A and B are shown apart, each in its own frame.
Chain A
Amino acid sequence: MRRGWLVFVVMVGVLFFALNAPSEAQKVVKIGGLLTTSGAAAHLGKICLNGANLAVEEINAKGGLTIGGEKYKVELINYDDKCVAKDAVSATERLLKQDKVPVILGTICSHCMLAAMEITEKEKIPILTPIASSVKITSMGYKYVFRNWSNAAIQAETVTRFAAEDLKLKTAAYIGRNDAWSRSAADEFKKRWEKRGGKLLVTEFYELGATDFYPQLTKAKNANPDLIYFCSLSEDGALAIKQAKELGIKAQIMGTDEMNNEQFFKVSGNAIEGAYIYWTEGPKKQKGMEYEQRYKKKYGVDSINIDKGGYDSLNIIANALIKAGTVTDTTKIRDALAKTDYEGIRQKYTFSDNGQAKVEMWIVKIENMKPKFIKPINVYHNPIEPL
């Protein structure tokens, strides 16, 4: 009898609290994140996430987004795909089934993007990648896929044009990651290099996470090319270029925009001195410099390029949500993204029909262990092969 009364009282108490719960809880719009924080692209993903989180913080500090007449706070729910396709798939499923996000920012690695895209396209969830560069991502006609960085064709066009026309180099070797991005880049590099009259002597790939590049480098050295292009990120590229120097390779080194940051220099030492890399934006602008101070204040480290990419990407998504006026109609959000006309801190963003943003490419030289802007390359003007 005692027990019965106790249960009754507890239930009444719970009911009381439930009925009196504040019905005016702050509305939240969830943005899904698929930014790698461990594994073979951890550096890129973590820094990108920094930028995105800073954008979220600033939006919420101003009270949130006004979407369809209601104020929403933004919450970025990020899962680590470890740069592994199957983890990207399960993370995507989680974002869609468990967190029910209407839009996703990610992924970093191309093979993860290609895997995640299959799910998001089927479920009609727009997904914006801040860096995954395989050409396939925007060439398969998927309507809900967007990219606001350069892609492998644009990168290869930039690099081969500069190497052939400005540096007047004739023979090349390509050493790159064995993943979707680098494979796409290798095809594009070969196509464009050979069309320009160059000879591609050696093409070698290495596994993600590899640390010993002597086999590939020895083969490249043996062919004696004028130029070696490394399609690598910070973790692998730094070691590869350092080892190239150890082996006494004298070829001109060219690489990617992940070869101009502290983590890279720490591992590569001055082996990177004199290398040329592609860069997906021009020299700093006013807005960019102000952002850099805010970034440094929050994170204590200098801003590089990909954090700006994450920051702009998040804001592009926020902007699309406002324009769409809904947090649930994903087709409207997709349409709003497609019509993006947004002035970010890196550039003005608009997307072509296939979801690729127009970008501004430059060649940067590492001189005295610092980046030096050399010249812009307008890839849209007479590309040697269609982009």
Chain B
Amino acid sequence: MRLRATAQAVLGKYYLYIFIVIIFFVSCFLSDKFFTVRNMENILIHNAVIASIALGMLFVVISGGIDLSVGSVVALSSTALAIFIQAGLPLPLAILLTFCVGAGVGFMNGFFIAYTRIAPLIVTLASLSLIKGAAYLLQTGYGRRLYDPVFDFLFASGSIYKIPLPVIYMILLYLIAHFILSSTDFGKNIYAIGGNKQASYLVGINVRGHLMAVYALCSMLAVVGGIIVSARLMMGTARIGEGYELDAIATAVLGGAALIGGRGSAFKILIAAFILGIMSNILNLTGVAIYYQMLMKGGILLVAAMAQEVEWQS
């Protein structure tokens, strides 16, 4: 009896780490191409995109909401960036403006969520269509080519000591996010709002302000993902980001963030992103059809949700 309780407790608390270790070793076993520098690089870079978006989603989910529009923001940021660069703006300005566009979308989401009683699900669902439509409108013809050597270095092929730059950005973002969530008033207020919005309001926390900030943050992190993808593709296009919101949500849930709000930590999201990334990678390497991959993803998500239940019970 005690053994079972202990096993449950250990499993509940450490399931993520156990998971990733198992997946890693199983993958090494399944394909000799897995544990190669080239492949590891691939995983890391692909992850940098999803992990950034998932990080934004984490903040929103902790606050008790959800953001379905992140995929569309990825698309919009790609086309917007292309427009700015092709208009001749210097790269730093173009990137800054793209982030402003993302922040604008986020503030718009946040405004409706904070000032009306419409559920975040609905607001961001509407945004999803609106923003995607806007992205397509901005993209005339086929994609806009984006070739700028500095841009390419910074966001696609550059690396420091063999670590790709996008991965370094991802690590930096996660460190900052972890710090914010664990040690700042803003972070604790987000948890509070997710736990009991009314109580937060009664003690004087500016709930509306925090909500708008959180959605703006989420969109801006989606912009990060959009910029990296655009750099890899060397073009600005609205045909990217499809389904990213679901991946981001799955990552957040797998990483222990409760969709009702009030729970979640940055580090676990990172591990979750890697788990899903490694899974996709090994399934691709072993030639498994995409349909099985979808089944696996769904299965993993269910198992993760159940493991969370176990953790919460103990």
A binds B: no
The residues of A with any CB-CB pair to B shorter than 8 Å are none
